[in-house]
């Protein structure tokens, strides 16, 4: 009986072992199938990944080419324009970019971007005051820094083409600022302004200005771009209520109609405040005044304008007797600066205006002492 019992126990153990082995076999088969499926998926992914990359690259290239068609390419003709001469060159890295040799900076090859760059404060200081009075693009986009020399994508180029600072912001005279009159800052500010070099160069765009003026006895604001499309005579004189200056401004005022007949406006400028201008213009000629002159009186109390035009006399704190002829494109055509004791010849200013306008219209040359009606040199 005991032997039979032992045999039955052995049979039960054998059945259990068979069931366990069968379970292990099924588990192993399932694991093998899963591993095989994973390996197949990996193999398929290894094949598809390069194809996806190529597809995405092709799509990106097509998108970039489409965007590039909307960009300007660099044109060598731009180098011949007066506002770009001497500093503009092509960027070797990209036909969609230009280079400023003066600032050592890469720019978008867009005519508006280049013109706005020519008005940037740092650029003007490095090129001696080359300012273009053209359209201004305003945007809040952040411009690229000088440290970023990598070639931009077309999207970046188009975004950067709008990131230009307004010209009026760069060269605003600062009519509301009183830093120059602060006792604590006077020495520092005076030293800073004495370091400013003359920006007025004949054949180059005239330095921009914006300041308070007295026109027909009323206070207003004027800027150089207000005279775009006309010739302008910018007439600097030393001081209001002086002895020679009234004779010059009265002679100028009495002949304003002759200037306007030549499509020319006249603006007189001194370092006096607009309050002084108002008082002087309301004073009778018999009392040393100029009795409401027919041209604006520009106020330059901070000396910014007279210094940028190179006629400020720092020893005396006012300007010399200087006048500048600026043509309808904003280009400075003529400069005359007299020492203080000698007044100017208004007829000679008119003669020069007629000569410059005649040569512009006929593309001929005017000899010495030329007057209207006399022959020119072709």
Q: Measured between alpha carbons, how far is 226 from 92 in angstroms, rounded to an integer?
A: 39
Residues 6+ apart with CB under 8 A from 57: none
CB-based contacts of 273-281 (< 8 A; 24+ apart in sequence):
273/299, 273/301, 274/212, 274/213, 274/214, 274/219, 274/299, 276/240, 276/241, 277/213, 277/214, 277/240, 278/214, 278/217, 278/219, 279/240, 280/240, 280/241, 281/214, 281/217
* Residue among 245, 269, 311, 366 flagged as catalytic: 245
The CA–CA distances, whole Å, from 369 to 233, 242, 316, 364, 366 equal 20, 32, 35, 15, 8
CA Rg, the chain, in Å?
A: 39
Establish whether 245 is a catalytic residue. Answer: yes
257: its two tokens: 């109609």
Surface-to-core class of residue 138, CB atoms within 10 Å of its CB (0-12 exposed, 13-18 middle, 19+ buried) = exposed
Element housing 278 (H / E)? helix 274-281
DSSP string, 234-267: EEE-S-TT-SHHHHHHHHHHHTHHHHHTTTEEEE
Residue 377, classed as helix, strand or coil, is: strand
Q: Measured between alpha carbons, how far is 375 from 365 in angstroms, rounded to an integer?
A: 9
Q: Measured between alpha carbons, how far is 157 from 143 in angstroms, rounded to an integer?
A: 10
| CB of 87 closer than 8 Å to CB of 100 | yes
Q: Measured between alpha carbons, how far is 341 from 252 in angstroms, rounded to an integer?
A: 18
Q: Measured between alpha carbons, how far is 294 from 83 in angstroms, rounded to an integer?
A: 33
What phi and psi, each to the nearest 5 degrees, are found at residue 295?
Answer: -130, 160
Catalytically active residues are 245
């Amino acid at each position: 009986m005991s032997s039979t019992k032992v045999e039955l126990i052995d049979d039960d153990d054998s059945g259990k072992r068979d069931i366990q082995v069968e379970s292990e076999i099924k588990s192993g088969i399932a694991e093998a199938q899963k591993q095989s499926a994973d390996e197949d998926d990996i193999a398929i992914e290894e094949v598809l990944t390069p194809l996806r990359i190529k597809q995405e690259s092709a799509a990106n290239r097509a998108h970039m080419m489409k965007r590039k068609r909307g960009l300007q390419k660099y044109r060598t003709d731009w180098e011949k324009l007066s506002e770009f001469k001497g500093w503009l060159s092509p960027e070797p890295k990209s036909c969609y970019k230009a280079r400023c040799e003066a600032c050592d900076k890469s720019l978008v090859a867009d005519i508006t971007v280049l013109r706005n760059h020519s008005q940037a404060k740092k650029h003007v200081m490095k090129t001696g005051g080359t300012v273009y009075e053209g359209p201004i693009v305003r945007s809040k986009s952040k411009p690229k820094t000088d440290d970023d020399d990598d070639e931009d994508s077309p999207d970046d180029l188009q975004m950067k083409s709008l990131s230009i600072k307004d010209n009026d912001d760069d060269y605003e005279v600062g009519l509301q600022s009183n830093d120059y009159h602060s006792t604590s800052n006077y020495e520092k500010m005076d030293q800073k302004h004495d370091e400013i070099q003359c920006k007025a160069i004949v054949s180059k765009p005239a330095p921009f200005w914006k300041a308070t003026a007295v026109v027909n006895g009323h206070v207003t604001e004027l800027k150089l771009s207000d005279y775009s499309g006309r010739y302008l005579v910018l007439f600097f004189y030393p001081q209001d209520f002086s002895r020679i200056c009234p004779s010059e401004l009265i002679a100028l005022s009495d002949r304003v109609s002759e200037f306007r007949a030549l499509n020319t406006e006249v603006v007189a400028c001194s370092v006096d405040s607009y309050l002084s201008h108002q008082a002087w213009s309301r004073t009778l000629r018999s009392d040393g005044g100029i009795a409401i002159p027919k041209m604006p009186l520009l106020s330059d109390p901070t000396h910014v304008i007279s210094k940028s035009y190179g006629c400020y006399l720092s020893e005396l704190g006012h300007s010399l007797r200087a006048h500048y002829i600026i043509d309808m494109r904003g280009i400075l055509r003529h400069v005359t600066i007299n020492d203080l004791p000698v007044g100017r010849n208004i007829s000679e200013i008119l003669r020069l205006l007629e000569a410059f306008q005649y040569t512009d219209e006929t593309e001929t040359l005017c000899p010495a002492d030329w007057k209207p009606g006399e022959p020119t040199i072709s």
